[in-house]
Amino acid sequence: MRDEHKKAADGNIFRAVISKTQLPCDLLEGEFRLEMRGRRELFVSGCRRILKYSEREMVIRAKVFDVFIEGEGLVCASYHYSGIAINGLVKTIRLEGFE
């Protein structure tokens, strides 16, 4: 019974933080998020690690799938706190899930 009350209280606190900060819940939960600005800037959050890195292809491990990015002149502009910024001409993005 006590665990149920704790989960309910944790859920209420989480909803209050989302409401007050107006941040997306997936960002607060550490989930995967992908944002593109044009075709030359890509931001991926929720990264676990970089599996492959070259000017033509990057593979990033997220929570439940891998992100394949193909393009030209791809460069990791920044990598911090499970987020990566990629610059270069992005041609394709593919997600492949795993369990």
Q: What are the tens digits of pLDDT across the range 35-67? A: 999 999 999 988 889 999 999 999 999 878 899
Give the structural domain span for 25: 1-29
Closest CA to 88 of 34, 41, 36: 41
pLDDT band at residue 75 under the 50/70/90 scheme: very high
- Do residues 39 and 5 share a domain? no
pTM of the predicted structure, to 2 decimals:
0.68
Asked whether 77 and 67 are in contact (CB, 8 A), the reply is: no
- Do residues 44 and 82 share a domain? yes
- Do residues 25 and 40 share a domain? no
Strand, coil or helix: what is 63?
coil
Q: How many helices (H) and strands (E) does the chain have?
A: 2, 6
Compute the mean pLDDT over every residue in the chain, rounded to the nearest whole number. Answer: 80
Phi, psi (degrees; rounded to nearest 5) at 9: -65, -45
Q: For residue 60, list its beta bridge partners.
A: 50, 67
